[in-house]
Amino acid sequence: MRYPQTMPGNCAAISLRAVRKCFNPGAAPAVDGVTLDVAPGEFLAIIGGSGSGKTTTLKMINRLIEPDSGEIIIEGAPAAAQPAHDLRRNIGYVIQGFGLFPHLTISENIAVTPKLLGWPDKDIAARVQELLALVGLPAEDYAARFPAELSGGQKQRVAIARAIAARPRIVLMDEPFGALDPITRDEVSAAYRALHDDLNLTTIMITHDVQEALLLADQLAVMAQGRILARGAPADLMRDNADPHVRALIDMPRRQARRVRDRLEDARDG
């Protein structure tokens, strides 16, 4: 079963139109004619194996990578119509490795984009206080610390706070929780989902963790060989999909749950 990838009219927060990227002449394209719409307020997870084109697709949205052809439209305007650095300042970006500046304090890390945008100092200070509270790191305990003094989960909370510091409406996340241990990963991902809802963000998350995608996202897009094979709500994709690659990927958490149940039953019987 195929699912619609585009939306009627101009109501999308992010639109990709036949976007293509090839890194080596003569090689298969990394992204091969992707067309995709993401609605305002939507949380979309793009899943797929290594080399499927997920991260390249994400990086073309904020022009860390330029497409060879096609068009990317952000909130009704072509992404290419403004300087790339201006575009990025209005899009939050969270990566797996935290990306914090080690020589800056936590408050200084969060303040980077507002400073670049010329916010008054008092507004920046208030925003840092607000964000540290939002991500569960009270300013009185954490603002003056350096990244090396934080745990992995705390660093990722700071990275999220920095990504939304300038009040972007769009946040891009590339394997944002992959470096965290399972318990911290669950806590931080749930905290971000709550922020997404409270702030009415539009989020695209790249992940290889299908279970994480099913639990967090409103919509899933499955990629393979640079193309989107299916797009839809998690329940729809789990219920009915004829594509064998999509079916195998989406069924993975179900298979894992059955194995866990069997192990628990064996332990109980023993």
Chunk the chain into consecutive blocks of 10 residues (it has 270) and report each block's average pLDDT, rounded to whole numbers: 43 95 92 96 94 95 96 95 93 88 96 95 96 94 96 94 95 91 91 94 94 93 94 85 78 72 69
Task: Give how many domains the chain has, as a whole number.
Answer: 2
**What is residue 235's predicted lDDT score, i.e. its pLDDT?**
86
- Would you say residue 202 lies in a domain? yes
Does one domain contain both 98 and 222?
no
- Would you say residue 270 lies in a domain? no
The CA distance from 39 to 268, in Å, is 47
Does one domain contain both 190 and 104?
no
**What is residue 3's predicted lDDT score, i.e. its pLDDT?**
32
Does one domain contain both 192 and 251?
yes
Percent of the chain whose pLDDT exceeds 90: 72
**What is residue 4's predicted lDDT score, i.e. its pLDDT?**
40
> Counting beta carbons within 10 angstroms of the beta carbon of residue 228, is it exposed (0 to 12), middle (13 to 18) or buried (19 or more)?
buried
Which residues touch 251 (CB under 8 Å, ≥6 apart)?
A: 238
**What is residue 153's predicted lDDT score, i.e. its pLDDT?**
92
**What is residue 9's predicted lDDT score, i.e. its pLDDT?**
45
- Asked whether the beta carbons of 114 and 127 are under 8 A apart, the reply is yes
Does one domain contain both 223 and 236?
yes
pTM of this prediction exceeds 0.75: yes
- Return the DSSP state at 135: T
On the CB side of 17, CA atoms within 13 Å amount to 13
Full residue range of the structural domain in which residue 144 is found:
91-167
- Would you say residue 193 lies in a domain? yes
Q: Give the end of a domain, one of 142, 167, 192.
A: 167
Does one domain contain both 259 and 179?
yes
